Structure 1
Amino acid sequence: MKRTVGDFLLDRLSQIGVKDILGVPGDYNLQLLIQAERRKDIRFVGTRNELNGGYAADGYSRVNGISALLTTYGVGDLSAINAIAGAYAEYVPIVCITGAPPLNSMYRRRFLHHTTAEGNFEDVMNCYRPFTVAQARIAPQNAVEEIDRVLRACVRKKRPVYLQIPSDITFFEIDVCNEKLSLCQQTSDARQLGAVLERIEEKLAKAKNPSALLGMALDRFGLSDSTQAMIENFNIPFATLSAAQCVLDGDHPQWIGGYSGRSSSDQVKAAIEESDCLFGLNVKFTDSNSSYFTQKIPEDMIDIRPFRTIIGHEVFEGVSAVELLEALSKITPPKKYQNIPAKIAKTENNWVSKGSEKLIQDRFWKRVEKFIKPNDVVVTEAGTSMRGVKILDMPSGITIISQPLWLSIGYSLPALFGSSLAQPNRRQVIFIGDGSFQLTAQEVSSFFEHDLKPIIFLINNRGYTIERAIMGFHSAYNDIPNWNYKQLFEAFSDGKPFFARQVVTEDDFESVLQDAEKASDQLCLIEVMFDPLDIPKAVQSSANMVASFNYGPRGLKELDKNVDD
């Protein structure tokens, strides 16, 4: 049957679960936007700039499973590329679509606007190659094959892809088959699957202290449920790297805590480092999740990755993690393991306001722990906010959105817009510092435009406190101008009501939280005023590790930095 190039692309996006295309209009993509406007199954949602659009697409994808970003050639693409690199690093599938110059002009190497006027139309594509798993420039003769190939790669590999759609071809009709895009995952080679199962059963039969360590993107690869089923079948303890916080419920009885090398609790270190049969689920150690490479992992860890498993020096290619985990969840354990450590009794969180006493970070996070509700979406920014959320005891059903690897400041506010757009019926809460907020603040207007009502905790400590802790407690480069945030929200609100309060004391905080609970029909801004040098002990300890690693002994001496402070 006949279909236009643009409609075929939009059909495919709708089929894979994209309901909203985020981004910014530009003269090379307006024709595709006209086609999108005519549809009921998919819509375009504008963001205030392309970088914010990329961050929003990231947040949208983390709760929806996939997203799409539309930019215009050159200036739009390159504005968004930081966000796309972050999505690539953290396994977030985004379909990046750019409206490119007319196909005939690219063939003739014309000097066009939004280019370097050298006739080079490969430069932007080359910028995207390292941060996407598939790329294509669409022409009428390749549209069906290339669009399907690129979208399959996005769905299967859980990373961004990049499509250039020349502005003069979207209304061209092409022949398409009347079938939905096949997204079937490659199944395992039966003999390889059998071999790795046999090897694992051998290890389990000899083991006394098996355990599991959860890593990156298990939810996005569809491995959360089967991972939990395996852990429960074997009745073994499990720990999580920072990227896996709340991928399984934080109140699961077999969860023993977070693992981060030498910074882990003794109980977690013993369970993971002394395990004689450790299951690693898509584990990737980085500086920030291992306390700077201080992990001590058994060399024969069962390293389960999405499409291969490695045990010591043995590599089992062609093994689907989905099928392997499902099989492991059904086999009869060779013995009953008794190595789940007794949980340290939690001290009841009986936070009570200390009246007019100034609120400090440690007390703030303790009260926040009681504020979080089951099934909330919790978005955190790089810095003190991410570290504050990391230590909270979370209820069931929580989704945490953060960038523990890429750590791009300013990410969280547009990501919150994307996640709120994708799941508007869930309560969404963000913790963001003033320094990060000032990078992407204009996206606040999008919440009002689309009647989204998140709760925004703005940590106002007048600068980059996490960087003060690393180096330069009193340095001017860590200072930022103080904004009147309530007035800023008023400017963005277009007259729509919102809840805004400023917190200084503990009584302020308790009163504001109670009032915010009653204001669920409005966007809430809670500005919390902290001293710039109010740095929790765990944050300072982490910052000291950063300084030691980044600057070395000579750098610390030259800068008069004592990491034992």
Structure 2
Amino acid sequence: MTDTITDDPASATVVHPTVTVGQYLATRLVQLGADHVFGLPGDFNLSLLDQMTTVDGFTWVGSTNELNAAYAADGYARLKRGIGALVTTFGVGEMSAINGVAGSFSEDVPVVQITGMPSTVARAAGAHLHHTLIDGDYEHFVRAYREVTASATIVRAQSATRDIDSALMTALRESKPVYLAIPTDVAVAPVHAANLRTPLVGATSDAGELARFREGLRAVVTPSERVTLLVGPQVHRTSLEPVIRDIADHDGVYVASQNMAKAVLDESHPASLGTYMGAFTRIDEAREAVDGAELLVLAGTVMSDFLTGFFTQAFDEDAAIELGLTSARIADTTYYGVRLSDSLRALHEVLGESHRPAVTPVGHPPVLVADPPAPDAELDQDFFWDSIQGWLQPDTTVIADAGTSFYGALDLLLPDGCALLGQPVWSAIGYTVPATLGAAVADPSKRCVLFVGDGAAQLTIQELATILHRGYTPIVFLLNNGGYTVERMIQSPAAVYQDITPWDWTLIPAAFGARDLAVTVSASTQAELAEALALAHATTERAVFIEVHLPERSSPRLLTILAAAAAAQNAKH
């Protein structure tokens, strides 16, 4: 059997005349940049994994449970600006992962959930196997996944290459998760490898519709002296930050971001308006620049409650230009088949055809740096986040869990080159610990700084073991406030269900067999926090785990406002 090389000079993937289905799938993932795949073994996916791990460039990242694998694949996809993938076993494994995959669907992250299934013969016979519901129906779980993915397919040997390519193209095209179930016999079935000579590429815009859109855009942009962009998370998903920077460099352009796209443009840029959240926008001038925009462009936005300040935006969405993932709209005309990548580039081109006055930079919130620590003074949220503002370095991946962590981080003025990774739409607590693994794997050149609450960490902290033993060196701030602070703020603060069992957090790395891989410290006072931050700066070869003791009812500014709004909303029902 003679080996051949793919026609794509950027790819070094070796292609045989025939490969197994598992090898075909792994090769496609490597070609798409998803060369690290997360997951756990189980008896129904072992044959599949044996095939996938033979492919050059494929790296297996074992996770501590399937939910964490789904979160890690999600974080990986966000930082890679591409596809993430995980492998689970049938039933028990895939059901554990489904919450993470649902979050990826909610937040437009293209994750490939791959499940190893019982054999085609066993399925046809309705055999009462383990990991099934003992009713002979093998499609319960694929039906469940159809609710939280853009496509859900049980791969057949006869159409395996088409099934796999179609699913991956759907993930690329729609920026949504997809599901592939591969029976044990199908995983090892031989298939033709010819298709692998041509790597998959994303969908392209309809040329005619794009030309019509460009003309419509020219008609409204050319006479406008001020153009304001509100940029949403779909720009991140499609790796279009460079285009946003090009657009921001035009005179007469302002750029605001939704909180899930914070720092899509460096917040020091003259055109930056910072983060827009409707009535909760921190700077009135920035809010007015969006709500009162002469011409507003919504670029890849998501109009959900937490991203709009509980729907307090004051602009007319129908009057705005809307650039979505797969279509664009100007007034009452929709241009179908115009993709976000092309509509943004068209906007950049049209802006360059006319001249407008330079923008006057909008003032940012004052960069608050904490006062010198007072001897024995207890910490609170304000002092903590003010201290982080002065400590945070450029080119950092900031990762913040739902609750006090995320909404504290949102008020930071991020240094240049930083990105904020969070999950404000799905808002699953515990997402960020395994997402930190995915982020570190995806971009090891940037140090991860993780902020996670004690309640959230109790769900997924075991993935810290994987992070440490793989040699990554994040700085982890464990915000210990003795329970579910955000829920206390919304309703019933003294209820027994708001409490969690206390853990000795600084012993966690040692319990994970990583005593020498991480420095641990606890901070209860302002002086101790200052010492911990200095230690974190000085420690680069090992991870740093800092337990920060905070009052039970202390809350960041933005979370206090949002919790009050959520409480008022709950009171209406």
Which of 245, 270, 273 is 2:288 aligned to?
270
2:181 paired with 1:164: yes
Cα pair 2:397 2:420 within 8 Å, conserved = yes
Cα-to-partner distance string for 1:202-221 (whole Å, 9 max, x where unaligned) = 22233344211111221221
The answer to whether 1:427 aligns with 2:447 is: yes
Residue aligning to 1:63: 79
Matched position secondary structure for 1:218? helix
Q: For the Cα contact (< 8 Å) 1:383–1:466, is it kept in 2?
A: yes
Q: What is the DSSP-based 3-state SS (H/G/I as helix, E as strand, rest coil) of the residue aligned with 1:54?
A: helix
Match of 1:107? 124
Alignment of 1:23-422 (within 5 A): 23-64=39-80, 65-177=82-194, 179-264=196-281, 265-298=283-316, 299-331=318-350, 332-343=352-363, 346-347=366-367, 349=369, 351-422=371-442
Relative to structure 2, which stretch is displaced further, 459-468 or 246-255?
246-255
Q: CA deviation at 1:405?
A: 0.3
Write the distance in 2 (CA, Å) between the matches of 1:402 and 1:272: 23
Letter of the 1:336 partner, please give it.
Answer: R
Q: Distance in 2 between matches of 1:194 and 1:36?
A: 43
Which residue identity lines up with residue 203 of structure 2 in the other structure? Q
The one-letter amino acid paired with 2:295 is C
Change (3 A) 1:396 1:142: same
* Residues 1:440 and 1:189: Cα distance change in structure 2 (over 3 Å): closer
Distance 1:386 1:296, change over 3 A: same
Q: Distance in 2 between matches of 1:341 and 1:400?
A: 23
Paired letter, 2:143? N
Alignment partners' CA distance in 2, 1:386 and 1:399: 13
CA distance in 2, matches of 1:488, 1:320: 46
Task: Give 1:178 shift.
Answer: 5.3
* Greater CA drift, 515-524 or 83-92: 515-524
2:486 equivalent to 1:466: yes
Tell me, what secondary structure is at the counterpart of 1:262?
helix
SS in 1 for 2:93: helix
SS in structure 2 at match of 1:387 = helix
Distance 2:431 2:366 in 1: 33
Give, in angstroms, the shift of residue 469 of structure 1. Answer: 0.9
SS at match of 2:451: strand
| Structure 2 gap segments, 5+ residues each | 1-16
Structure-2 change in CA distance of 1:494 and 1:366 (3 Å): closer
* Cα deviation, residue 323, structure 1: 2.1
Q: For the residues of structure 2 that align with 1:340 and 1:285, how far apart are their CA atoms?
A: 27
Looking at structure 1, the residues matched to 38 and 368 of structure 2 have their Cα atoms a distance apart, in angstroms, of: 43
The whole-number CA distance in structure 2 between the counterparts of 1:119 and 1:486 is: 48
Given that 1:205 and 1:334 are in contact with CA atoms closer than 8 Å, whether structure 2 keeps it comes out as yes
C-alpha separation in 1, matches of 2:121 and 2:323: 47
- Judged with a 3 Å threshold, the aligned counterparts in structure 2 of structure 1 residues 185 and 99 are, in CA distance, closer, same or farther, namely closer
State the aligned residue count. 553
Shift of 1:37: 3.7
Deviation digits for residues 56-75 of structure 1 (CA, Å, limit 9, x no counterpart): 11111111222110000011
Task: Give the letter aligned to residue 313 of structure 2.
Answer: Q
Residue identity in the other structure for 1:63: L
* Structure 1 CA distance for aligned equivalents of residues 196 and 121 of structure 2: 31
C-alpha deviation, 1:346, in angstroms: 3.8
Moved more, 152-161 or 179-188: 179-188
CA distance in 1, matches of 2:520, 2:391: 17
Distance in 2 (CA, whole Å) between partners of 1:181 and 1:496 is: 46
What SS class does the counterpart of residue 68 from structure 1 fall into?
A: strand
Q: 1:448 to 1:341 in 2, by over 3 A?
A: closer
Matches of 2:353 and 2:387 in 1, distance apart? 42
Change (3 A) 1:201 1:494: closer
Q: Per-residue CA shift, 1:289-330, capped at 9, x if unaligned?
A: 112111122331000112211122211112222223223223
Structure 1 residues 175 and 481, CA gap change in structure 2 (3 angstroms): same
More deviation in 320-329 or 520-529?
Answer: 320-329
What CA distance in whole angstroms lies between the structure 1 residues aligned with 2:62 and 2:304?
Answer: 35
Change (3 A) 1:347 1:22: closer
Q: Secondary structure at the match of 1:349?
A: coil
Q: Distance in 1 between matches of 2:516 and 2:55?
A: 29
Q: In structure 1, how many angstroms separate the alpha carbons of the residues matched to 2:210 and 2:190?
A: 45
Shift of 1:341: 4.7
Provide the identity percentage.
32
In structure 2, C-alpha distance between the alignment counterparts of 1:176 and 1:338, rounded to whole Å: 55
Opposite residue 323 of structure 1, the aligned amino acid is: D
AA at the equivalent of 1:247: V
Contact 2:451 2:477 in 1 (8 A): yes
CA distance in 2: counterparts of 1:519 and 1:345, whole angstroms:
31
* Contact 1:98 1:163 survives alignment (8 Å): yes
CA distance in 2, matches of 1:237, 1:137: 47
CA RMSD, Structure 1 to Structure 2 (Å) = 1.8
Counterpart in 1 of 2:3? none
Check the 8 A contact 1:219/1:247 in 2, yes or no: yes
Q: In 2, distance between residues paired with 1:202 and 1:539?
A: 42
Do 2:370 and 2:383's aligned partners in 1 also have CA atoms closer than 8 Å?
Answer: no
Is the Cα contact below 8 Å between 1:208 and 1:339 reproduced in 2? no
Q: Alignment partner for residue 544 of structure 1, among 554, 564, 572?
A: 564
Residue 21 of structure 1 and its aligned partner are, at CA, apart by: 1.4
Match of 1:558?
A: none
Query: Which residue in the other structure is 1:562 paired with?
Result: none
What TM-score do the two structures reach when normalised by structure 1?
A: 0.94
**Amino acid in the other structure paired with 1:330:** E
TM-score (norm 2): 0.93
Q: What's the offset of the Cα at 1:95?
A: 1.1
* CA drift at 1:426: 1.8
- Report if aligned partners of 2:277, 2:308 keep a CA contact under 8 Å in 1: yes
